[in-house]
Amino acid sequence: MREQWGSQAGFILAAVGSAVGLGNIWRFAYAAGENGGGAFLLVYLFVVLTLGVPLVVAEIAIGKHGRADGVTAFERLAPDSAWRRVGWLGVAGSALILAYYSVIAGWALRYFFAAARGTLWDRPPGGFAEGFSAFIAHPIEPLGWHAAMMALSMAVVVAGVARGIERACLWLMPMLALIVVALAGFALTLPGSSGGVAFLFGPTWSALLDPRVILAAMGQAFFSIGLGMAVYITYGGYLRPEQRIPGPAAAIVACDTTFAIIAGLAIFPAVFAFGGNPAAGAELAFITLPDIFLAMPGGRAVAIAFFFLLSAAALTSMISLIEVPVAALMQRAGLRRRVAVLAVGGAALLGGVPPALGYGPLAWLNVTGRPLLEEVDHVVSNLILPLAGFGLALFFGWVLPAGTALELAGIRGVAGALLLCAIRYLAPAFILGLMLFRLASG
């Protein structure tokens, strides 16, 4: 018997668990910081509404109809066609993201343990900047934390869809929501915090038409929602026939966006209150914030809560990234879940070694001078994910007959027309235009 979700809420929370991750807390903060705060947020909201929701609906619909993994679902809708390659792109992409994602998740886990044990405050002589650089450049330590995160995620996924993935997310997601709201509430009471609110919500209009800002927002939206990598196809494949798609899809995207904004309200007000640099980049969470935690009243508890949030959010996302290739291996190679989880987790563990060592022993291994992990993330977010989204839009919008597509999605009337319009014209045009811009500008 094919596995199924225990409940509609379980499905939604599992999907939200996939969507809410490092992308919402760590990546959103630095993407917003580097791209002008409020302007970025506005473009981001636009992309989420016009591309995010329609593509999530399309993915879930394909999976639900196929009742199968990311590759087989395409085959069932378009037998003997090349479209299954879009599925393979997703399966391979998930495994690729899993490998480097786990490395950053490992950094978060290390900070959580250090905060909980109090050792985070034994400040290294050069402050957190040097402490962090020394940690990620270490030839062994980051590997250990990467392995720990991978093992945790494998332990959840091996227990199955309802008993592993769904149960973990039913527990963790409400807890994470409480933590992030509490952290934001606290940050907003700090004197001087209003600068952070203005930074996040005050748009710089000139940035709205800057293709680089739009590209960054699109990359962030794809990554944060988790589009194109067959996660929603795979998760949709565990739905029952009577479960509906549009409501959950909108809820998932809304939760993901709200979570990112509230996380921003936990981070930027604190950064402004303590005079940190909001555009600090990827190290915002690991260098800027610890300094602030050290300086703020009750900062120790805040640090524990924050790094727990970061680690647990990463865990529920890694779960989905493992499940995509696992589902494909189970169905297509006839492997048992346990064997498939070992194969995928093992491969991702090895695959994470080069990016994990890219700040130390393997620092020479790069193309454009950035650390390997950032190179891979850049290619994934700005190329592979949009490309997969492009393929998905073409398939759902143009290959499937319009009537079939809308029937699969369970949408009629004006909403159906809008959905088709977004998937047929807006998504492909938008994605293609931005990718051409990126190629042209090098």
Q: Which residues, numbered 27-86, are part of the site for ligand TRP (CB under 6 A)?
A: none
Q: Which is nearer to ligand TRP, 313 or 420 (CB)?
A: 313
Question: Smallest distance, Å, CB 44 to ligand TRP?
Answer: 13
Q: Which residues, numbered 403-422, are part of the site for ligand TRP (CB under 6 A)?
A: none
321 binds ligand TRP (CB under 6 A): yes
Q: Which is nearer to ligand TRP, 19 or 214 (CB)?
A: 19
The token duo for 220 is: 């962030």
Q: Which is nearer to ligand TRP, 273 or 313 (CB)?
A: 313
Question: Smallest distance, Å, CB 404 to ligand TRP?
Answer: 26
Of the residues 18, 72, 102, 193, which one makes contact with ligand TRP according to CB under 6 A: 18
355-to-138, 369, 374 alpha-carbon distances in Å: 12, 14, 8
Question: Smallest distance, Å, CB 247 to ligand TRP?
Answer: 20
Distance (Å, rounded) from C-alpha 55 to C-alpha 204? 28
Contact region with ligand TRP (CB under 6 A), list: 19-27, 30-38, 62-70, 328-336: 19-27
Of the residues 23, 52, 106, 325, which one makes contact with ligand TRP according to CB under 6 A: 23
Query: What track of x and - describes contact with ligand TRP for positions 367 through 396 (by CB under 6 A)?
Result: ------------------x-----------
95 binds ligand TRP (CB under 6 A): no
Of the residues 14, 16, 31, 97, which one makes contact with ligand TRP according to CB under 6 A: 97
Of the residues 11, 15, 16, 21, which one makes contact with ligand TRP according to CB under 6 A: 21
Q: Which is nearer to ligand TRP, 267 or 273 (CB)?
A: 267
Q: Which residues, numbered 186-215, are part of the site for ligand TRP (CB under 6 A)?
A: none
Q: Which residues, numbered 216-245, are part of the site for ligand TRP (CB under 6 A)?
A: 223-224, 226, 229, 231
Question: How many residues of this chain interact with ligand TRP, rule: CB under 6 A?
Answer: 17
Given the rule CB under 6 A, which residues bind ligand TRP?
A: 18-19, 21-24, 94, 97, 223-224, 226, 229, 231, 317, 320-321, 385
